[in-house]
Structure formats: C-alpha cells, structure tokens
Structure 1
C-alpha cells in the first residue's frame, strides 16, 4: 500500500515538468533510466572487465562531458579515464611495429667456432680470435666476440689457464715416455708388481722389472739398469704418477739421462692416458686370460708378449702398423690371393701372429 502510494507520487512529480513546460523530456528520462541501471549493476557486479573497444569509447565520449560530471556518468573513476586516454595517445605514436630490425643475431656455427678457438688456444684473447675470423673472411665485430666468450663463462682476455694434459700429450708426443706399475695376483693369491714403460712416439713398450716388494730403492735400481742398456735420445719428458715408489732418487736417475720428470695430478689417470691404456691392453689380451704362477712365470710371459706388442701387434695410432714397421716403413702392397698366410702361435696359442710365406 505504501509502495504504491510512493510510486504514484513519484510519477506525478516527474510528469509535472511536462505539463508545465510542455517540453519533450523522453531523452532525459532515458538517460535517467540508464544511469539508474548502471547503479544497480554496480551493486551486483564487484568488478567489470572492459575490452579495448570499451575503453576507446569511454575515453572518446569523455571529451563531450564536463569533468565534474564524470563520476555520475561513467562507471570508472576519472583517473582511469585519463589513464586510458594516455595509453591511446601512446599507442598512436608507437612506431615499434614499423621499426627496422636491429643487428642480426650471430649464427650458431660462428659461436661454436669462437668457443672452439678459445678452447684450443688458451693464450688467445677476443682480439686474437676476432683477427683469425677476419683473416678467413668472416666479418664480425670484436665486441661480439667478447660478448660470446663472456656469456660462455670464458675470460675474453688471454689470461686463461695453460694447455690441458690432452693438449700437452698431443703436442709433445714425440718426446714423452711414461712409466707406471701394474699388479698381478698369482694362482696362490700372491701379488706381484711389474714396472713398465711406454714410448709415446713409437708406442714401443719396455719391461723395467718385476718384484713382489716395489720399494723406492728397487725402482731406482730398475731405472738405472734400463738406462744402461737403452738409448733415450730424442726423449725430453718422463710422466709418472705420485706413487711412493717413485722417489727423488728415481727422478734423479732420469734427470741425469736428460729427461724432465713430470708428476701427474693426484687421482688423474688421464694425465698418463697412454700408459694406462697400454696396461689395460695387457690385462685384456694377456693377464686376464692367463694364470700366473710366480715372478719367473710373469717375467717370461710379459717378455714374450712385449715382443709381440712391439714387433707384430698393429696400433691405430701408427696407422695400423706395429712399432717395428712404423720405424722401418710400411710393407709393400700385395695381393693376398696370390700368397699363402702362415699362422704362428704365441704364448701357447693365446695370441696368433700371421705372416706371408716367402
């Protein structure tokens, strides 16, 4: 009853200007309806999401409405309208899409080559690498080389560490000999030690001695005996590990022979990789397939195998020639179909050697 009375009074009050002023207020009434509808929607929707087109429309219409009435007309605050307008202006003058691309990225192959040069040449800085690339015809800025090295964690200046053991062994292979101990457990579980040497240049192997008690004095005497019967001319470096058997007296024997002794880092078998590989070959081809009785048996077995190793066994490092052939020259090519091939058993048939019949 009360609500209907209020509605009737409100309608009469709104129709009074029409009767008095005789004006068409339909547009004004429509605006009042839309404003009231916006107020109802604001109460029901906590947050309204506007798209770019909505923001554009509101910002454009804001120029035709006095700023003091923005709070009553627009569903957003005046600060939001101004922010939308600033974004529209910034977007109008944004030339990012029309901007020319900058410096092209460096090709992955060039980056890989720069890092490779830095790894293979520790003394080269970014200027030296830049010069090398320029020399071969590739145009690149020195600052680009610096950035590539810096991003890879490599010092662009030539202050990096010296050559690695692999680089050293490769560069000085012609002048290096290496020694190491290997152990063998006999059939009655007695451990025997053998001191062996390998020449990097020729891959020729030597047996320096065999003992059950490898002490420092014994190793020193074995070195003296070897140098008395062997010419070490052409060799400059001797690589050994840090075993207790290799004493200062042992080093002095080889120093008197003109060799500089290099100690490998602790627990770094790669520093003496060639000798370690030779010992691995001994175990795979001989010691892992033979039961050793005593020191005499081990000496005879190793002596026979080293004769095969130096005189008959091919080596990939020597282009599949044995050390004796590498020193004397490769054999003349022949047609196997026109010759007979004889087999010779070594170490009781454990290893076979093949020769062309004369």
Structure 2
C-alpha cells in the first residue's frame, strides 16, 4: 500500500510540472470551460440542458485547448456539437415522409357508413351494400366494401341474418291493427264506452268514438270512419285483432274484409292475444282517467283525445327505441349541453308533463 501511495504522489507531481509547460491562455480557457460546465450542471431544471448559446461558448473556449488535452478533460459539449446539430437539421429538411405501399385508406366517414349499412340490414350482402354508397354519390369499390366488413369483424349476410321469433313478429307488426272497446265510469256512476284502434308496428292510437250504448251499427260506422281517415295507408293492413263482444257483428267484419283484411277474434279468456291494446288501456287509465273525475261524455272525450295526442307525439316507447310513434321519421334532436334550456308543457291541467329543448 505504501508503494501505491508513492506511485500516486509521483504521478501527481509530474502533472503539476506539466502545467508549467502550458501557456496561461490555455489554462485560463480550460478553467473557464470547466466553470461553465459546472454552472450548467447546477441549474435547477434536471437534467441540465444546453442551449445554443451554451454550446457556442463551450466550442469557442475549447478552440484554445490542445487536441491532446481535450481527450483528457471530461467534456459535456465538444466543438463538433454545433456542426452535428446543423447536419441533423439539414438531414431533417431533406428527409421526405414515407408513404405506405398501396392505395390510400378510405375516409373514416365512408367506413362508418358501410358498417352502419351492414348492421342495420342483416340480410344485405356486400354487393347490395355497395349499391347504397354508389347511389349516394360515394366513390367506393365492391372489394373495398368487402375488406371494410372483414376488418370490422362482420360476418357475411347468411351468417348474420337474425331468424328469431322476435324479428319475425316485428316484420309482421306493420300489417296488424288491433281494436278494443273499454269502459270508463263517470263521477255520476254512468258508464261510457271508448272504441280505439292501435297499430302494432308504430303503436299509433286512433280514438274512433265514445258512446253510452255500443251497438253493431255504431261500431260499423266507426270502422268506416277509421278506414276513411287512413286513406291509402289502409291498403297495408292485413290483419285485424278484436275481442269476441256481441257488438262486433258481421257487418263490422265486412267493412275490413272488403279491403282484404283478415279479422282475427281473440280466444275466450286469453287477453294476451290482444296484449298491445290491453297495455294501452292500462296506460290510459293509470296516467289519465283514474287520476281525473270524469263528469260526462264531453269531458271523457277531451281527456281521452288529449292523452292519445300525448301518447302519439311525445310519450317514449321502449319497443320504438324510446321514441314516440309520431316522430319515428323525424331526425333526432341534437345532444343537450350544460347551457341548453329545457321547457315544460302541461297537459290535462298539469296531470301530464312534456319536456323539450328550447330552440
């Protein structure tokens, strides 16, 4: 250990002697350079970063230090730093962005349109889907439609077609209309009968009439009035569901059979065969008539028609995607923000509230 100590002292002595051979300018430049590096290392922003002015100062001071001495000094910046940075800048300027091989990708909006058409129409193949964007003046090839569907994980048409009972019944619902005659007792204990028709496909309700004594001729006339109100839409009806009341006579059925409608009477004690009409009666009683004291036929006519308008134009339906029957074809309103005002409309004296956005 003593020999090693003597060796280190000898090496340090020779280093001190070598300093006398160096000029004062070289030693001062090295001292300034080391002090500048120390000042940069002491900056509060870790890790220390060299600005362009720091690099210029270091490069200027190192020019006064010999090349042999530069290799012995711990340097953070060399005279080559600025030229190297300049060469990188030149390389970055003349480097062109690389392009992917093949055709450029289709716009995202077009891809979303193809996926939407495939999901909303399970029976359409890629050739049928290709025809819709072409009709909308969108430039797309049939092979591109196929590749978009494959990337989205959508199976071909036969595999994604839904053949369940629910889909089958929904497809038949547009041609089915149900009718029912229910009663309401007034505040004076007088019974009134309300005849209505409801479409299975749209859930739209039509109040045909209100009477105290339902008879066969009266129901037959109300059936004629209903078909006249439908106009050309009556040709789309294929089935009529009704109960087995004695007031539904053969003349009532003949009005619908004349335009090709098949009348289907419900079985005895099977209310589920006319469940949609029964459900509307429950909603009307629970939300309107059971919460109001009906004084007479005119009052009942006002309450029932007001509720039918609310039911058709505003009340949401789960089977229709929480949309009312009268707004199935209208566009959905824009999403409300924190500053969107909401207004309320009262129906039946505040018994029913309707809310909408203020334009």
How does the TM-score come out when normalised to structure 1? Answer: 0.52
Give the whole-Å Cα distance in 2 for the aligned partners of 1:327 and 1:235: 20
Residue deviations 1:17-48 (CA, integer Å, cap 9, x gap): xxxxxxxxxxxxxxxxxxxxxxxxxxxxxxxx
Pick the structure with greater CA Rg.
1
The residue correspondences of 1:104-143 to structure 2 (distance < 5 A) are: none
Does the 8 Å CA contact 1:196/1:206 hold for their aligned counterparts? yes
Deviation at 1:172, TM superposition (A): 1.8
Does the 8 Å CA contact 1:202/1:327 hold for their aligned counterparts? no
Flag the 1:239–1:169 CA change in 2: closer, same or farther, 3 A.
farther
Task: State the match for 2:342 in structure 1.
Answer: 341
Deviation at 1:234, TM superposition (A): 1.8
SS at match of 1:328: coil
Does the 8 Å CA contact 2:175/2:238 hold for their aligned counterparts? yes
Give the whole-Å Cα distance in 1 for the aligned partners of 2:167 and 2:356: 37
Task: State the match for 1:195 in structure 2.
Answer: 195
Q: Structure 2: 5+ residue runs without aligned partners?
A: 1-158, 160-164
1:296 alignment partner, one of 283, 295, 298: 298
Deviation at 1:299, TM superposition (A): 0.7
Deviation at 1:335, TM superposition (A): 2.4
Give the whole-Å Cα distance in 2 for the aligned partners of 1:168 and 1:258: 22
Give the whole-Å Cα distance in 2 for the aligned partners of 1:342 and 1:167: 37
Give the whole-Å Cα distance in 1 for the aligned partners of 2:168 and 2:240: 13
Task: State the match for 2:286 in structure 1.
Answer: 284
Task: State the match for 2:354 in structure 1.
Answer: 353
Q: How many residues get paired? A: 196
Give the whole-Å Cα distance in 1 for the aligned partners of 2:274 and 2:257: 19
Give the whole-Å Cα distance in 2 for the aligned partners of 1:204 and 1:198: 6
Task: State the match for 2:270 in structure 1.
Answer: 268
Q: Structure 1: 5+ residue runs without aligned partners?
A: 1-135, 137-163
Task: State the match for 1:238 in structure 2.
Answer: 240
Give the whole-Å Cα distance in 1 for the aligned partners of 2:303 and 2:174: 29
Give the whole-Å Cα distance in 2 for the aligned partners of 1:193 and 1:169: 30
Residue deviations 1:168-198 (CA, integer Å, cap 9, x gap): 8555212100000110000000000000111
SS at match of 2:225: helix
Give the whole-Å Cα distance in 2 for the aligned partners of 1:284 and 1:167: 30
Task: State the match for 2:124 in structure 1.
Answer: none
1:258 alignment partner, one of 251, 260, 263: 260
Flag the 1:237–1:274 CA change in 2: closer, same or farther, 3 A.
same
Deviation at 1:304, TM superposition (A): 1.0
Task: State the match for 1:221 in structure 2.
Answer: 221
Deviation at 1:233, TM superposition (A): 3.1
Flag the 1:167–1:213 CA change in 2: closer, same or farther, 3 A.
farther
Give the whole-Å Cα distance in 1 for the aligned partners of 2:291 and 2:335: 34
Flag the 1:285–1:248 CA change in 2: closer, same or farther, 3 A.
same
SS at match of 1:284: helix
Give the whole-Å Cα distance in 2 for the aligned partners of 1:269 and 1:257: 27
Deviation at 1:255, TM superposition (A): 1.3
Task: State the match for 1:26 in structure 2.
Answer: none
Does the 8 Å CA contact 2:170/2:201 hold for their aligned counterparts? no
The residue correspondences of 1:1-358 to structure 2 (distance < 5 A) are: 170=170, 172-231=172-231, 232-329=234-331, 331-358=332-359
Flag the 1:335–1:223 CA change in 2: closer, same or farther, 3 A.
same
Moved over 2 A (4+): 166-171
Flag the 1:332–1:344 CA change in 2: closer, same or farther, 3 A.
closer
For the aligned residue pairs, the C-alpha RMSD in angstroms reads 2.2
Give the whole-Å Cα distance in 1 for the aligned partners of 2:216 and 2:262: 19
Give the whole-Å Cα distance in 2 for the aligned partners of 1:336 and 1:246: 52
Give the whole-Å Cα distance in 1 for the aligned partners of 2:169 and 2:248: 21
Deviation at 1:208, TM superposition (A): 0.6
Residue deviations 1:120-177 (CA, integer Å, cap 9, x gap): xxxxxxxxxxxxxxxx9xxxxxxxxxxxxxxxxxxxxxxxxxxx9x998555212100
Flag the 1:168–1:208 CA change in 2: closer, same or farther, 3 A.
farther
How does the TM-score come out when normalised to structure 2? Answer: 0.52
Give the whole-Å Cα distance in 1 for the aligned partners of 2:316 and 2:215: 34
